[in-house]
A and B are shown apart, each in its own frame.
Chain A
């Protein structure tokens, strides 16, 4: 009995060793003959893959949200924005409780950090959904003017210079391909803009922006679309048509990345890890003056809109970590102060729908600016 057991045990051990050994031998042989180098070693007739269809009945092909040669999408970015010295020419301000003289304030610089993130939530062939968040700030550093300050300092100037402006927002992007060439793109965002501090502001002051585009992707190197947006980019609420045009030439040297009127850039690709852009971006928001108790009750908002003419250089500094440097000219489009009517915004539509006067007609001179950011880019 003991002999039988010992024999069986030996047999089993032998079998185990044999199986394991065979498995390893097989692996070694396969690995030796088919090395996993980038190029597979064996000759293959690739023509057999030309005319084949999906295994699953009814499976469809859909167009991709990207085209070849586009700059990589940024997942997370942390940057610093700096506007050089300029003048803040503020109008006089009058209300029942407060008043202040017009004055030109010298600003040494306006600067602040900018954080953005954009994470894919659903990424399927027939729908792509992304969620993002952002925090931007602008702090005004006033030059010391001593006795040249007005006798009655402007309370709006005090609020701006002492508190700065902040934007905290959430956004979402949905790409819905309809077939191999047509798609619908939706972007929506909600932002809390104002001179608030860490206590933020009530959610009733949230601003909502949205855009919807119907587009076509006729080739791997071209994508265009037309749509409509509800936007604050010109400083105050507007509804404007938009044009999308992304293009890369056959050599992948030149291209365009355009979402007019929000931004338009010509792209020069030095190589896929080094890109240069020339163009502009339209930036803007409506900022609530909230921190000062008196101004808060006046229902005031700064309508800030600016055009940034710029050169941008983007490069990979280590694999997926990209550096973006931009420099250019910040052109003031609007910096007026508006009073809300019973809490509602005035929809002027460039003066077509309303010619209501602003509470303050302000002007900023146009400085040079630069922006530097580190970004983690998407696969």
Chain B
């Protein structure tokens, strides 16, 4: 009986700590990141148990034709074409799967209005490998994102 109780306690403790540890580990993705082209900055945050990224900075924030803030004019859904790009969620639904990887998410490219399957791998605490792909991972492209240092507001 004692053994059963100990086993039960051990399993319960391991399960609980693994949940907490996984959560903490996954949260390392939270922060502000810059893709290799330097055209935008993306803030990753956690909503529920998933991770999302939104555009918070654009190198060229103004549309050269309309002289207004850039909007998502290439979105295939006409209802979404007037949404400002600043604040746009271009990374969606990422789940931490362990071993420094976040899966099951998508990445949206506002330049052509396409959404790709995506995996994120953390190479070190300041570097991400973001792989957008079509169907299978081999048919894709990897981009390197670097973490940016945001100073806390005084």
Question: Do A124 and B149 touch (CB < 8 A)?
Answer: no
* Complex: A64 Cα to B59 Cα, angstroms: 14
* Complex: A68 Cα to B37 Cα, angstroms: 11
**Mask for A1-43, Cβ within 8 A of B = 1, else 0?**
1000100110010011001000100111011001011111000
Question: Do B60 and A125 touch (CB < 8 A)?
Answer: no
Question: Interface size bucket, A side?
Answer: 35 or more
* Complex: A228 Cα to B11 Cα, angstroms: 67
The number of chain B residues with a CB under 8 A from chain A is 69
Question: Do A53 and B149 touch (CB < 8 A)?
Answer: yes
Question: Do B134 and A379 touch (CB < 8 A)?
Answer: yes
Question: Do B141 and A120 touch (CB < 8 A)?
Answer: yes
* Complex: A259 Cα to B147 Cα, angstroms: 36
Contact of A124 among B12, B37, B144 (CB under 8 A): B144
* Complex: A238 Cα to B36 Cα, angstroms: 37
Given A56-B126, A320-B114, A379-B141: A36 and B148 within 8 A (CB)?
no
For residue A151, CB closer than 8 A to chain B, the reply is: no
For residue A198, CB closer than 8 A to chain B, the reply is: no
Given A37-B89, A271-B74, A272-B74: A64 and B36 within 8 A (CB)?
yes
Contact of B132 among A38, A53, A124, A379 (CB under 8 A): A379
- Distance (whole angstroms) from the CB of A379 to the closest CB of chain B: 4
For residue B38, CB closer than 8 A to chain A, the reply is: yes
Residue of B nearest to A32 (CB): B48
Residue of A nearest to B4 (CB): A5
Question: Do B47 and A39 touch (CB < 8 A)?
Answer: no
* Complex: A52 Cα to B52 Cα, angstroms: 21
Contacts of B43 in A (CB 8 A): 49
Contacts of B52 in A (CB 8 A): 36
- Distance (whole angstroms) from the CB of B109 to the closest CB of chain A: 7
B81-115 with Cβ < 8 A to chain A:
83-84, 86-89, 92-93, 107-109, 111-114
For residue A342, CB closer than 8 A to chain B, the reply is: no
Contact of A272 among B16, B88, B113 (CB under 8 A): B113
* Complex: A31 Cα to B147 Cα, angstroms: 25
Question: Do B89 and A40 touch (CB < 8 A)?
Answer: yes
Q: What 3 pairs between A and B have smallest CB-CB spacing?
A: A27-B48, A379-B132, A250-B64
